[in-house]
């Protein structure tokens, strides 16, 4: 198969999805984007277009669980492959709203699969997550590491993977690249795109950015009594630009052979919370006040990827380091104190379509 040319991107207005749109537009793909803006804004597309210097394509505001609206998109467009980002992603929230998470993440994926199947589209790149691994035993986690989802969010991703693997076994030609991201952070180097959490952020990097810019007084470091060199928990932070580059490469490999292919996306190197704080201080040139708080429920000591499989099979290796991740996240925070929603509307382009 030639590399696919028309890609349906679900969740394309979100943090990783918007960066992926830029990456795919830069490489000549035609895009159809769907998003319900439950955790994003349509304003982001003006910025995607500004960076890419191209129209983003046709954008539909719809909920991927809306079977008829989704089918209508496949009726109207000849889609070669789907990159499926749309999901709810907050681990803590998922413990309070498990049904909503299963409905959106699992139900949304099966609704998408049905539409794909009915329209003869058999190529999918799926956003999976390192959170489906249990607590690592200290070493890097390979794709065959023990699975032990610790939250409804993680369980929803594992359920999706199992469904996708089964569909691949039963539908000839069905091909899935399931990418298990570790901790994607950072922002587009232009400062136009970045992570824009609604409400109080859960994740470390946006918290740091908000403390640095003065929106929050201090960072709470969740635990300094882990069995790690400085006592704080260790993660594998990966630049969002490296993350989306891997998606573009995944599309190029959809023709390698049918079936379910699972890859970790990570740097393969861990950083402690205090190491990230130090890197962020260096990037923003100001001290980050922090205190030591109790461990966060559900946290694990260390989660670092063994990302050798994707390097071996595709030659993909992350190119950006922690300093670059912090620099880009800080640039986005500084330039966008009120997020993408503050961007000017652009009027000379194909407008967002409502569907359903
Ligand atoms: P995000 O919330 O920024 O993006 C998700 C997008 O999907 C948003 O634009 C949201 O509005 C949209 N969406 C949600 N529910 C929808 C629905 N029912 N119908 C249509 N659109 C819907 O999140 P992100 O960080 O860009 O994550 C993208 C994907 O990557 C998700 O599947 C997430 O689970 C996965 N992932 C993220 C991380 C991370 O740390 N950011 C790590 C591992 C995996
Ligand atoms: C990183 C470290 C915190 C905030 C999450 C999801 C995972 C995946 C990636 C989606 C931890 C510590 C954090 C703060 C802190 N996402 N921390 N103070 O928990 O590794 O992974 O994002 O799939 O599923 O669970 O990322 O950024 O929340 O935390 O000390 O205010 O920073 O305890 O050790 P996490 P994170």
Residue-range domain boundaries for the chain? 6-351
Q: How far apart are the first and last CA of the chain?
A: 32
- The mean of the pLDDT values for the chain is 93
The percent of residues in the chain predicted with pLDDT above 70, rounded, is 93
| Band of residue 345 on the pLDDT scale cut at 50, 70, 90 | very low
Residue 280 has pLDDT above 90, yes or no: yes
Residues designated as active site: 153
Helix (H), strand (E) counts: the chain: 12, 15
Mean of pLDDT values over 307-322: 98
* Structural class in CATH, domain 6-351: alpha beta
Q: What is the per-residue pLDDT for 3? A: 52
* pLDDT tens sequence across 224-262: 999 999 999 999 999 999 999 999 999 999 999 999 999
Q: Quote the CA–CA distance of 185 and 206 in Å, as a whole number.
A: 9
C-alpha distances out from residue 11 to 108, 170, 206, 280, Å: 11, 27, 20, 28
Burial class (CB within 10 angstroms; exposed 0-12, middle 13-18, buried 19+) of 220? middle
d(CA 67, CA 80): 19
pLDDT of 132 higher than 70: yes
In the prediction, which pLDDT does 337 show?
78
**What is the reported pLDDT for 201?**
86
Looking at residue 136, what is its pLDDT? 66
Ligand 1 in contact with 17 (CB < 6 A)? yes
Tell me the sheet residues that pair with 98. Answer: none
CA of 211 to the centre of ligand 2 (A): 16
Q: Is the pLDDT of residue 344 over 50?
A: no
| Of 121, 163, 158, residue with least CA distance to 143 | 158
Query: CB of 87 closer than 6 A to ligand 1?
Result: yes
At 346 the pLDDT is: 38
pLDDT at residue 26 above 50?
yes
pLDDT of residue 135: 75
Nearest CA to ligand 1 atom 41: 184
Measure the CA–CA gap between 195 and 297, rounded to whole angstroms. Answer: 24
Look at residue 354 and tell me whether its pLDDT is greater than 80: no
- For the stretch 149-208, pLDDT in tens is 999 999 999 999 999 999 999 999 999 999 999 999 999 999 999 998 888 888 999 999
Determine the Cα–Cα distance for residues 176 and 29; give it in Å rounded to an integer: 19
- How close is the Cα of 137 to the center of ligand 1, in Å? 28
Task: Kindly state if the Cβ of 36 falls inside 6 Å of ligand 1.
Answer: yes
CB within 8 A of 233, min separation 6: which ones? 222, 223, 226, 272, 273, 299, 300, 301, 302
pLDDT grade, residue 38 (50/70/90)? very high
Residue nearest atom 24 in ligand 2 by C-alpha distance: 131
């Amino acid at each position: 198969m030639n590399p696919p040319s028309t890609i349906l991107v679900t969740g394309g207005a979100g943090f990783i999805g918007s960066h992926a749109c830029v990456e795919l537009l830069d490489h000549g793909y035609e895009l159809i984007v769907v998003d319900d803006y439950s955790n994003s804004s349509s304003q982001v597309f003006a910025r995607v277009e500004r960076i890419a210097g191209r129209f983003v394509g046709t954008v539909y505001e719809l909920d991927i669980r809306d079977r008829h609206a989704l089918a209508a998109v496949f009726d109207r467009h000849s889609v070669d492959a789907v990159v499926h980002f749309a999901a709810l992603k907050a681990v803590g929230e998922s413990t309070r709203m498990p049904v909503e998470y299963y409905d959106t993440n699992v139900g949304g994926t099966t609704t998408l699969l049905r539409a794909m199947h009915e329209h003869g589209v058999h190529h999918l790149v799926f956003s999976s997550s390192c959170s489906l691994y249990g607590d690592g035993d200290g070493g890097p986690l390979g794709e065959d590491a023990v699975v032990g989802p610790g939250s409804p969010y993680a369980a929803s991703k594992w359920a999706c993977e199992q469904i996708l693997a089964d569909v691949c076994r039963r539908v000839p030609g069905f091909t899935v690249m399931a990418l298990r991201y570790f901790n994607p952070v950072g922002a587009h180097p232009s400062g136009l795109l970045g992570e824009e959490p609604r409400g109080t952020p859960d994740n470390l990097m946006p918290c740091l950015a908000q403390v640095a810019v003065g929106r929050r007084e201090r960072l709470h470091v969740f635990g300094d009594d882990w069995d790690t060199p400085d006592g704080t928990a260790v993660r594998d932070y990966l630049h969002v630009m490296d993350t989306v580059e891997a998606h573009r490469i995944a599309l190029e490999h959809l023709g390698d052979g049918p079936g379910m292919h699972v890859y970790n996306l990570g740097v393969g190197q861990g950083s402690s919370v205090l190491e990230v704080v130090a890197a962020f201080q260096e990037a923003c040139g100001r001290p980050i006040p922090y205190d030591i708080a109790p461990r966060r429920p559900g946290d694990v000591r260390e989660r670092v990827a063994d990302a050798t499989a994707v390097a071996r099979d595709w030659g993909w290796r992350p190119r950006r380091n922690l300093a670059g991740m912090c620099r880009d996240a800080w640039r986005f925070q500084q330039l966008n104190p009120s997020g993408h929603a503050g961007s000017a509307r652009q009027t000379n382009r194909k407008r967002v379509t409502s569907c359903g």
